[in-house]
Amino acid sequence: MKRIISMVLVFLMLFALLSVTAVALESEEFKFVLSDDSTYYILSEYLGSQTEIVVPSYYKSLPVKVIGEAAFQHQDAITKIELPATITRIEAYAFAHCYLLTDINIPSSVESIGASAFSDCSALTEIAIPSSVTTAGLDVFRRCSDDLNIYCEAEEKPEGFSAYWISSAANPPTAYWSYYSRGDVNGNGTPETADYILVRRVVMDTYSCNKSESLSADINADGTVDTYDYILLKRTVMGNE
C-alpha cells in the first residue's frame, strides 16, 4: 500500500511539474492578466528579447484583447511588432520608448489608443490608423519624429480623439485623413472585382502599390498584403454582387 501511495505521489508531483513547465513555456515571452469578467486576456508585459515580435491572438483558449499599460515600454531593441485582429484596446504608454521601432500594424479591431502609447518612438516614420479607432488619448505620438506620417482611414478626426492626440510639441507629426479605404484599392469609392484583381497582382508580384493602395489592399490589417487579403476581398466583393 505504501508503495502505491508513493507512486501516486510521484505521479502527482510529475504532473504538477509538467503543468508548471507548460505554462512557463507558453508565456515565457509574455505576461498575461485575465480580464475582470474572465472572458479575455490582457498582455501586461513583454518578457522576451526578440527584435521582431508577433503578439499571439489567443492564450489558454481565450482571446488576447488588450495591450496593457506600458506593456512594451523601454523595449528599445524591438524593431517590428505584429498585432493580431483580436486586439481592441491599446493602453497608455504601451509602446513608449521603443526607440528602434519602425514597423507596427494597428488592426481594424482596435477601438482606442491610450495616452502616450507611442511616445518617444523616434524611429517610427509611418503608421496607419484604421477608422475603427474612435478614441485617442493625449500625446499618443509625443516626441516622435516630425517626419512621422500618420495615415488615417477616417475622413476626419473623431470626437473621441484628444485635441493633442498627435503631440503637444511645436513640430508634431503629420496626420493624413481619408488617406485610404480598406478594400477600395483603386480608389473609385467601392470594393469591386478590379480591386481583388489588383490584390492578386500584388501577391503575384506583377504590380507595385503606392502607399494608399497598399493600405487599402491589406484587408486584415496585419501589415502585409498577401493571399489571405486577396481571398477576404474576393469573398466580400462576390458577396456584394
Q: Per residue in 182-234, pLDDT tens?
A: 999 999 999 999 999 999 999 999 999 999 999 999 999 999 999 999 999 99
Q: What is the Cα–Cα distance from 188 to 180, expressed in whole angstroms?
A: 11
pLDDT of residue 227: 96
pLDDT of residue 239: 84
Count other Cβ atoms within 10 Å, centred on residue 125: 14
pLDDT of residue 170: 79
Helices 227-240 and 193-203: crossing angle, nearest 10°? 170
Count other Cβ atoms within 10 Å, centred on residue 53: 19
For residue 68, give the nearest of 48, 95, 107, 105 by alpha carbon. 95
Q: CA dist 175 to 93, 199, 210, Å?
A: 20, 26, 17
Q: What is the Cα–Cα distance from 194 to 186, expressed in whole angstroms?
A: 8
Question: What is the phi-psi region of residue 93: left when phi exceeds 0, alpha when psi lies from -120 to 50, beta otherwise?
Answer: left
Cα-Cα-Cα-Cα dihedral sign, residues 173, 53, 133, 97: negative
Residue 193 C-alpha from the chain's centroid: 28
- Domains of the chain plus CATH, in order, are 2-179 (3.80.10.10), 181-241 (1.10.1330.10)
pTM, to two decimals: 0.86
Residues of the chain with pLDDT under 50: 2-26
Q: What is the Cα–Cα distance from 60 to 227, expressed in whole angstroms?
A: 28
For residue 215, give the nearest of 194, 239, 195 by alpha carbon. 195
pLDDT of residue 27: 57
For residue 114, give the nearest of 170, 159, 68 by alpha carbon. 68
Phi, psi (5° rounding) for residue 81? Answer: -135, 130
DSSP letters spanning 130-155: -TT--EE-TTTTTT--TT-EEEESSS
